[in-house]
Chain A
Amino acid sequence: MKLFAMAWRNLRQRALSSTLTIFSILLGTALVTTLWLVASEAQRKYVQSTKGFDVVIGPTGTSSLDLVLNAVYLAKPAQGVIPFSVYRELREDRKKWGQYVRYAIPFAYGDSFRGFPVCATTDEFFLKWGRAAEDVQGERPPDLVFAQGGPFAFTHDDFKAEAEVQAQRHRDGKTGTEQEVPPAWRKVVLGALAARSLKLGIGDTIAPAHGTGAALHFHEEARSEVVGVLEELGSPIDRGIFVPIGLHYRLSDHAAIGKLDRDVSADDVELSAIVVSCRPGLGFLQLRKQFMTRTDAIAAAPRIAVQELFQVVGNIAEALGGVAWIVLVVAALGVFLALYNTMVERERDIAILRSIGARRVQIFTITLAEAAWIGFVGATLGVLVAHGLAWFASDWLAHATGVPIRSGVFAPREAWLVLGVTALACVAGLIPAWRASSTDVARHLGRD
């Protein structure tokens, strides 16, 4: 029987005390690991989710971060509107924008279905963005692959025509009246998480809702059939419920044009954002530069906005990490107390070991090994518990934050954490080990 096995046996002998001490280490380690897991996965996912979104065009008066959180992460309501004219210009003024813009896809937001955001767009989102070439960072976004069904049919030309229809309605003073919703537009594509959480599949129907709480209003007039379910991407798109953008303008409560003035055109139809894919080279910089001087829209670079966000969030994570380390140091103090307080009851055992030949250094090693076991087992369980919790909470986290956590991926630094906590426990065990090795043997064996 080796010294480490003896140490383990000693811990089992004092099962309650050992379990409680291991539990305290487990808590500290789980806390550190959870923070690391959430922070690193969030950063990775947030950065990864910007792939394919070179530039997002949004309303003036919005911060870049708000725009990105709205348009890319579907995590915030739209903060305003931009006119159709911006979209038309990007698509049709080839002389001005053709050298910079590969494609531009419109989005309108505002509705939801049981907490999942409804995103109105054209079929180009699936056909172009979903088959995108490399973005300006040289990275390809994941292909949008349909697990079931396929995209709805609503093209750029359909959008242009609908904009004309909506402008005419406005000019005719029909804003606020019921509109017919063509059956072909009552189609919906679900992101993987939305489909899984809502338990919806091909052929099921949903009615988007507007507003929140008591003001929640279901658009029964637009009850739509699920025609496609996307494969899981591990990005905020998984939360999305995608509908034809034409449907968005036909819903009651949705004003296609906010102006009161009746002298409007299709260019005044409002949308929430435009996702732009830039051409390689200077396209990205030129596009952003052009929009810096405009008053009708702003251009945000999601990757830059997210990096700025994580500079702030990173500091918070570091501060929380500091708290977690304090918890670990307190747990290590628990190791010290657990070992030190049991020394009195163990002195006789130590004396017996010494009388049958155990050297002081071996007694020291056994006690230190007990501390190491506590640290190692507690830390290993802590890491596993953190990943287990992440696994249990992954759908909830993905729903709440748009960031799915890969609970099954273990980072190398978690191995270092286990080793570090084991070393910390060993340090905590030094004084008890020294005391154990200094036990007065004769005093604890028989007396005359």
Chain B
Amino acid sequence: MIEIHDLEKTYTRAGESIVACKVDELRVAAGEQVAIVGPSGCGKTTLLHIVSGLLVPNRGRVLVDGEDLFALSERARDRFRAKRFGYVHQSFDLLAGFTALENVELAQYFASGRIDHARAREYLTRVGLEARMQHRPGELSIGQQQRVAIARALINAPRLLLADEPTGSQDPATAKQSLAMLRDLATEVGATMLLVTHDPASAAAMQRTISLPDLAGAAR
């Protein structure tokens, strides 16, 4: 379960304080799959960064499964993220020097300090990449890279899956297929899912949609 109270993140540019993200109240139930939509610049990605603990807000609280994320030390927050969160980025963000299998195993390593090769192979097989495990990202298609990113995000059976425009660079049919795969696997591991998207079809596929207000020009 995610609870956000009175959240605000601002940046200072040229002496001016600009609001990058502002959420007064938000609750997402455990296992719920929610789309976050809104115009460009409204703070969708910033919200995911804050919820994942990568970005510290100027104000407000974020509770994940009752744990106040920013009451934790940075080290504890890193551990929390490694064990509880899965993250699918906009451009999948695989490490170019590592194979598909190693990209997945790295998430295991940072979560537990151990690598379960069999489990990593199993997840790649489930996303249809049994023949591509030893391939590096540059040797994979965009769709295959995205499936590696999905396997990496879910390998540790996260409590919270954060997906930032995961289908943005795909054609509608592939996007639908990828999203279905993501949702199915999230459901299987019981993960709460936050999906940032511009695509109405993707948003419609989720259980609920939250619109963030337009922050263009917002300043404090």
Q: Which residues on A are within 8 Å of B, measured CB to CB?
A: 1, 6, 9-10, 12-13, 348-349, 351-362, 441-442, 445-448
Tell me which residues across on chain B come within 8 A of A357, comparing CB atoms: 78-79, 81-83, 85, 107, 110-111
Q: Which B residues lie within 8 Å of A356 (CB)?
A: 82, 87, 106-107, 110, 152
For the complex, is B75 an interface residue (Cβ under 8 Å from A)?
A: yes
How far is A442 from B165 in the complex, measured between Cα atoms in Å? 15
Chain B residues within an 8 Å CB radius of A441:
49, 54-55
Q: With contacts A13-B97, A442-B46, A442-B49 known, what are 19 further pairs, Cβ within 8 A?
A: A1-B115, A348-B93, A351-B93, A352-B93, A355-B81, A355-B89, A357-B78, A357-B111, A358-B82, A360-B75, A361-B75, A362-B110, A441-B54, A442-B54, A445-B45, A445-B54, A446-B164, A448-B20, A448-B46
A298 to B31: give the CA distance in the assembly, Å.
102
Pairwise interchain contact A13-B54, C-beta atoms closer than 8 A = no
- Contact (Cβ within 8 A) B52 A355: yes
| B interface list, Cβ under 8 A from A | 20, 40-46, 49, 52, 54-55, 74-75, 78-79, 81-83, 85, 87, 89-91, 93-98, 102, 105-107, 109-111, 115, 152, 164-165
Least distance between A351 CB and chain B CB atoms (Å): 8
Total cross-chain contacts (CB, 8 A): 87
Q: Is the CB of A448 within 8 A of B43?
A: yes
List, in ascending order, chain A residues with CB within 8 A of B111's CB: 357
Q: Which of A1, A348, A351, A442 is B106 in contact with, Cβ under 8 Å? A: A1
- Chain A residues with CB under 8 Å of B89's CB are 352, 355, 445-446
A8 CB to closest chain B CB (Å) equals 10
Q: Flag if B46 contacts A358 (CB, 8 Å).
A: no
A358 and B78 contact, CB distance less than 8 A: yes
Cβ B55 vs Cβ A442 within 8 A:
yes
Q: List 14 A-B contacts (CB under 8 A).
A: A13-B97, A348-B93, A352-B95, A354-B54, A355-B54, A357-B82, A359-B79, A360-B78, A441-B54, A445-B54, A445-B89, A446-B45, A448-B43, A448-B45
A446 to B196 alpha-carbon distance, docked (Å): 11
**Smallest beta-carbon distance B55→chain A, Å:** 4
Query: A12 to B109, alpha carbons, bound, how many Å?
Result: 21
CB closest chain-B residue, reference A448: B45
Within 8 Å by CB of B91, from A6, A354, A446, A448, lies A446
Complex Cα gap A115–B154 (Å): 77
Say how far B20's CB is from chain A's closest CB, in angstroms.
8
Bound Cα distance from A41 to B50, whole angstroms: 64
Write out the residue numbers on chain B whose beta carbons fall within 8 Å of the beta carbon of A358.
78, 82, 110
